[in-house]
Structure 1
Amino acid sequence: MTSNRPAGAGETTAYEVGTLDDAGMAAWDAFVQHCPQATFFHRAGWRTVIEKSFGQKCHFLKATRDGQIHGVLPLVLVRSKMFGTRLVATGWCVGGSTAVDEPEAALALDRAAQALLANSAAEYIEYRDPANPHTDGSWQIKDGIYASFERPIEAEEDACLKQIPRKQRAVVRKAVESTLVDRIDEDLKSFYQLYSLSMRNLGTPVFSRRYIATLLEVFGADADILTVYQDGRPLSSVLNFYFRDKVMPYYTGADPDARKLGAADLMYFRVMRRASARGYKTFDFGRSKLETGPYAFKKNWGFEPRPVNHEFFLKEGVTMPDVNPNNPKYQRKIEAWKRLPLPVANLIGPWFGRQVG
């Protein structure tokens, strides 16, 4: 445990920075639940999920004063033969970074993260969608790659439909009136069947079935799977997360016939309606790469994009990383992956998934 005194702070402002342990998980989550800067990706359960599913080391840091938590930073030391070693907040998630209720606590956590970097094999620290952006030039910013989408959910179904632009609304209405049915699945068989197929078709290595099962086990009532069927055949499925007043469809998969039948459109609409019935107020459509199919799909639903930045603190001599599918050097690999037989992609995909972070 280290003591950090932020520059310019008074003598009474000092934080002890320590690491999350099993005994401290409830206090960590209580802070995350009430801290406005915190997200679902700050939850303590990610430490369990990541270490159990990917075998990587978590350094979930907390800044405390007089026994009270004033900030958290869920760092993961991602060791990868493909992409090198780095510290990521939060690894395997679209968000992370410092979440604090006092500005000085973010400085204390930054310093602890930089000390970890200096004493590890990692080349850099990455904060995803930081709540406390750095303005002093010590961190490099990568922007123009991702955008996030969210908006309130109207309580009444007709008003919810009217939030969707006219052309897309017609697709949803047609799907609602069709023979498609949706249900919350208690097991992940249908979901994983569709998810793994979609990932292969995108040229992206699939995460393991064990990882998905661990998410459902660890997050319990704050995660579920909704699947749309036609005559018993699964067409579209999504794994959702719930946090405070938000529902977030996070992992999804679809049969090639799903689009023409409007199955994905019905799926997202039913997620909204079911969430609203449970008291959730906001639909978080998540992050998409700019100018891609998912990005256009979300805009067609009437969602406005919010730019998402990543920040990097680099060791001396390390160049800015470019680990994303838009990097041209990965295009041939992506196209080759799309041609793999599905059983082969499902067999070797989880090994690659452990490298991504």
Structure 2
Amino acid sequence: MIKLLEPSQTERWDKFVLATSGGSFFHLAGWQQVIKQAFGHPTYYYYCERDGQITGILPLTHIKSPLFGNTLVSNAFCVYGGILASDDQSFTALKTQAQQLARDLRIDCLEMRNRVQAHPEWPHKELYVTFRKELDPDVEKNLNAIPRKQRAMVRAGIKGGLVSIIDDNVDRFYAAYSESVRNLGTPVFSKNYFRILKEVFGNRCEVLTVEHEGRLIASVMNFYFKDEVLPYYGGGVEAARDLKGNDFMYWEVMRRAVERGCKIFDYGRSKIGTGSFRFKKHWGFEPEPLFYEIDLVTAKQIPEINPLNPKYQLFIAAWKKLPLPVSQWIGPWLAKDLG
């Protein structure tokens, strides 16, 4: 039987996610609350139940935008998602439910963001990869495993007097992150979105900030899931480049994660051939393909809503020149539909 998630069932939902192979931070029920509060998009969190037990879950978000199309995504604002099921019957039932909803809503396409190919009959975006690596329990072994040139950057940050601090709010994080995002020509999310993430996910969501002589240099929001750490949103101020602030920041995330008992460092999604792709390779991480599988409903081809699309180049160039306060004011209006 397919049901829609009610607040009284979120604990059962999360227990299933934590116990099932393939479950990720982005399958957790808290995302429904985050997306509703921060963006106001309709969500459809389906689960399959048999003999009183949850046997499959599927978080879906409906984003309808005059600028960026009409899509149903699992899961929006997340790098992973898709159907999580303990058996083929539940998988098929949830897939059928999603396809029916997609047709009822007359959307452009249904998108499943999978780490492993789950719908070989659907086309998929050959655009993204992820970077994941096992951590050694010995902190020094992790440092020595970083390729020599990148390790020198980390050591330069340490020698230069950088320190990391865990912040209990998102204020300094937002200052660094919004500046970085503006410099990339990308609309920034609202500060309220990040506040909600911390409120909803509690100690699974942590902000690490890098300082130099008391000044903000860089900051990153990390997600913790089982034995994994995912540095998800991050950025630095102008001084970060010369002080090797970002290099030091990610090392500190890794170091602290080992002390916390984490065994996997998930560097997250990058577009093939971009600066972030090369940066992660320099750390000795190898790319793993992501399967963003698309069921075309009313669309004739996969929508190209990404910064590599040539039609967005003028917009990106103009956005980079915006004063930071203006980008922080206008950006959230656009970013809420870029799921």
* TM norm structure 2: 0.97
Structure 1 stretch 50-59 or stretch 262-271: which is displaced more?
Answer: 262-271
Equivalent in 148, 158, 163 of residue 130 of structure 2: 148
Larger radius of gyration: 1
Does residue 34 (structure 1) correspond to residue 19 (structure 2)? The answer is yes
Q: Pick the aligned partner of 1:327 from 290, 309, 334.
A: 309
> 1:18 deviation in Å?
1.1
Could you tell which deviates more after superposition, 227-236 or 259-268? 259-268
Q: State the AA in 1 paired with 2:185.
A: G
Q: Distance in 2 between matches of 1:55 and 1:212?
A: 15
Aligned-pair CA distance for 1:309: 2.0
- Cross-structure match for 2:50: 65
1:205 maps to what in 2?
187
Instruction: Tell me which residue corresponds to 1:157.
Output: 139
1:79 to 34, 51, 64: 64
Aligned residues: 339
- Report the counterpart of residue 274 of structure 1 in structure 2: 256
Deviates more, 1:346-355 or 1:165-174: 165-174
**C-alpha distance after superposition, 1:70-112 (max 9, x if no partner):** 1111000111121121100001111111011112211111100
SS where residue 227 of structure 1 aligns?
Answer: strand
Q: Which residue of 2 aligns with 1:250?
A: 232
Match of 2:85 among 72, 77, 100: 100
1:261-284 CA-to-partner distances (Å, cap 9, x unmatched) read 111111111111111111111100
* Cα displacement string for residues 168-207 of structure 1 (whole angstroms, at most 9, x for unaligned residues): 1111122222211110011111110011101100000000
Contact 1:205–1:349 (CA<8 Å) still a contact in 2? yes
Q: Contact (CA 8 Å) 1:183, 1:227: kept in 2 or not?
A: yes
Matches within 5 A, 1:17-28: 17-28=2-13
For residues 32 and 124 of structure 1, the distance between their equivalents in structure 2, rounded to whole angstroms, comes to 25
Which residue is 1:238 aligned to?
Answer: 220
Measured in 2, the distance between the counterparts of 1:21 and 1:278 equals 32
Task: Describe the SS at the equivalent of 2:181.
Answer: helix
Cα distance in structure 2, aligned partners of 1:38 and 1:158: 30
- Root-mean-square deviation (Å): 1.1
Alignment of 1:225 onto 2:210: no
Q: What CA distance in whole angstroms lies between the structure 1 residues aligned with 2:106 and 2:62?
A: 9
Runs of 4+ off more than 6 Å: none
Deviates more, 1:263-272 or 1:24-33: 263-272
Find out whether 1:115 has 2:115 as its counterpart: no
**Partner amino acid, structure 2, of 1:87:** L
Does the C-alpha gap of structure 1 residues 132 and 72 become closer, same or farther in structure 2, counting only changes over 3 Å?
farther
Matched, 1:134 2:129: no
Quick check: 2:109–2:298 contact (8 Å CA) kept in 1? no
Deviates more, 1:124-133 or 1:72-81: 124-133
The yes-or-no answer on 1:214 pairing with 2:184 is: no
- Quote the offset at 1:131 in angstroms: 3.9
Q: Where in structure 2 are there 5+ consecutive unaligned residues?
A: none
Give the alignment's TM-score, normalised by structure 1. 0.93
Q: Give the aligned residue type for 1:141.
A: H
1:260 is matched with which residue?
A: 242
1:192 is aligned to 2:174: yes
Runs of at least 5 residues in structure 1 that lack an aligned partner in the other structure:
1-15
In structure 2, C-alpha distance between the alignment counterparts of 1:260 and 1:129, rounded to whole Å: 37
Shift of 1:122: 1.6
Q: Deviations over 1:282-336 (max 9, x none)?
A: 1000011111111111000000011112111111563321111111111111111
> What does residue 321 of structure 2 align with?
339
Q: CA deviation at 1:340?
A: 0.8
Encode CA deviations 1:26-77: one digit per residue, 9 max, x unaligned: 0000000111111100000000000000000000111111121111110001
Name the % identity: 44
Secondary structure of 1:195 counterpart:
helix
Residues 129 and 270, structure 2, Cα contact 8 Å, conserved in 1: yes
Q: Specify the code of the residue in structure 1 equivalent to 2:293.
A: E
